[in-house]
Chains A and B, each alone.
Chain A
Amino acid sequence: MSAPVLELTNVNTYYGKIHALKGISLTVERGEVVTLIGSNGAGKTTTLRSISGLIQPRQGEIKLNGQSIRSVSPHKIVEQGIGHVPEGRGIFPALTVFENLEMGAFLLRDLAEFERRLARVFAIFPRLEERVGQRGGTLSGGEQQMLAIGRALMQQPAILLLDEPSMGLAPLLVEEIFHIIRRLNQTEGTTILLVEQNAQAALQVANRAYVLETGRITMDGSAQALLHDPKVIQAYLGF
């Protein structure tokens, strides 16, 4: 059996004295959608930032395709295949849609390959092609989220980390975003680690899930099982 795409073992991350991640372990296998759910301040964003190297864990191991990426600087981690769509989308507001997508392919020097990836992103998000010359900062929230995901796809990552892609979007758009996530996974085989507060929707697209509470993983299992777990229903699905 090949190594999981992503494997975290006992990861501990601090912000100064604040102990934000208290020994997180999780795995994502190739072709899976894994979701990480939890309430505000649970440490979901910190987990993703630890993976992509924006913050260095103080302890623990992080492996991408079996290779350690801990204490590697973030721009090198990207090179190894992490595509991180950050919380709040991280669109470059003064760059055009096209330039934002170019930034996604920053490490790519092959023009033909660039055009191929661009065509693929435009096929998934036709809206981006219509707005290609527009400044990122003037896009609507939904369009910005599409741009952020499209930009990460330009990296053609081994795994896509999505941090609350549905945040701040109208219900119809939320549905569209989740639809796209499902499609990316099912038709393109993209491996995804999805962080969400919208547990209901996340559990519906995911294969497996982890529940994070104040820096610790308290539950994990198949998404279907968690969707029907009374504790999850009470805490996160709000019935």
Chain B
Amino acid sequence: MRLHRPNLLLEVLRPLGQLLVFILGASAAISAITVLTAFLIRGTRTDMDLLQITLILLPQVLIDGIVLGFMYATIALGYTMVYGVLEFINFAHGEFFMFGAFAGVEFLVWMQGQGWLPDGQGWLAYLLLAGAVGVGMLISGSISVSTERIAYRPLRGAPRLVPLISAIGVSFLLQDVMRFYQSTANGAFYRTFPTFGGFSERITLFALPLDDREITIAIQMTSIVIIVVGSVMLVGLNYLVNATRLGRAIRSVAQDRNTAYLMGVDVNRIIAVTFLIGGALGGAAGVLWSFRFTRADPYMGFFPGLKAFTAAVLGGIGSIVGAMLGGMVLGLLESFAAAYLTIFTRGAFGAEYKDIFAFAILILILIFRPSGLLGGKTTQKA
């Protein structure tokens, strides 16, 4: 009978394998399309060797896309988990993300004030960064739980639109609260992520001789950190949901709330825990986001939130694996669009049009495959 108990190693390796497949698969597909496009339209571009430029840029674009993908996936999990248990789209999730970012940045700024931020690399820098992520998770998780308790739970029996409006209200409220706090406390509404720990250093992966030039492929420490932290989050969540008693309770509430009650599950507590986990993941993503783009501002949650939502819908909202896949696809797509759109269109479309892709995907998915790529409706086992 113990055969049916989850195998710890398998529960860790399976999501890692899935992640790897998603990364490689999405990278390969999008790279192939891009290179093919470059190949086809290269004749129209006599001012440069389009194919060569495309290939030179490719590795960096891929790395950036994967990093972005990890962040989108981590945010998307918040949408998907809450949707899984309540069939409700928590539009305030982007603001939980923003609060997490600020919490992490404030923590580091304070550390800096104490003179405790090291300049160079070392274990202390990693420890402090982990601390910032932890603080971000704590704050976002708490705000997420409180929001559920105050603004969503009383509306649980109401028509679907009502909690949705409530979520949008919470969204604006949280933005303005943060803006007010930052402008009164710091005189500016945004915060800069402190530079420390030598995270901006680049590590050369390999160098390629190409014709007369040599191109080096390098990866920033920041990117490595985000990939590692992101993987830990995704694998950890998978383990929690698929292999623990708490996870089984979450899945049972997602599948049939009344029957979950009849099994002795404290449904309200499980819903609160789901908000806690989703919010904490959003907070971690917020800290990583401000780490990567070096700042936090009260409105930073809007676009990443919307794109992560798109990622969740793309993968199949309610499905955890789907959120990972959708996040990766969206991150890569955005990175490719940002890099190649200008080159391919001779500057007719600048990188700022990259967002069109995300939202075009959202519309297409909603029209043609509303259940998403992986089609799960509930928080199912992978």
Contacts and interface: CB of A to CB of B under 8 A. Distances in A.
B265 A86 contact: no
A74 B4 contact: no
Contact of A52 (B1, B255, B262, B378): B262
B249 interface: yes
Contacts of A74: 261-262
Nearest to A99: B248
Nearest to A54: B258
B4 A132 contact: yes
A52 B267 CA distance: 14
Nearest to A49: B258
Interface residues of B, number: 22
B267 to A, nearest CB: 7
Contacts of B258: 54, 86, 90
B266 interface: yes
B220 interface: no
Highest count of chain B CB atoms <10 Å: which of A53, A73, A74, A133: A74
A106 B264 CA distance: 7
Given A86-B259, A92-B259, A75 B264 contact: yes
Interface in B232-262: 245, 248-249, 251-252, 255-256, 258-262
A106 B381 CA distance: 18
B135 to A, nearest CB: 33
B4 A96 contact: yes
B1 A118 contact: yes
B262 A78 contact: yes
The range of chain A's interface size is 20 to 34
Query: Binding site of B, secondary structure by majority: helix, strand, loop or mixed?
Result: helix
A61 B252 CA distance: 30
A84 B258 CA distance: 11
Contacts of B263: 78, 103-104, 106-107, 151, 155
A90 to B, nearest CB: 4
A155 to B, nearest CB: 7
A99 B378 CA distance: 16
B380 interface: yes
B153 to A, nearest CB: 14
Given A94-B255, A103-B252, A86 B264 contact: no
Nearest to A136: B255
Given A94-B378, A94-B380, A155 B248 contact: no
Interface of A: 52-54, 73-75, 78-79, 84, 86, 90-96, 98-99, 102-104, 106-107, 115, 118, 132-133, 151, 155
13 contacts: A54-B262, A73-B266, A90-B258, A90-B262, A92-B255, A95-B381, A96-B4, A103-B263, A104-B263, A106-B249, A106-B263, A133-B4, A151-B263
CB-CB nearest 7 A-B residue pairs: A90-B259, A78-B264, A74-B261, A98-B4, A107-B264, A94-B380, A92-B255
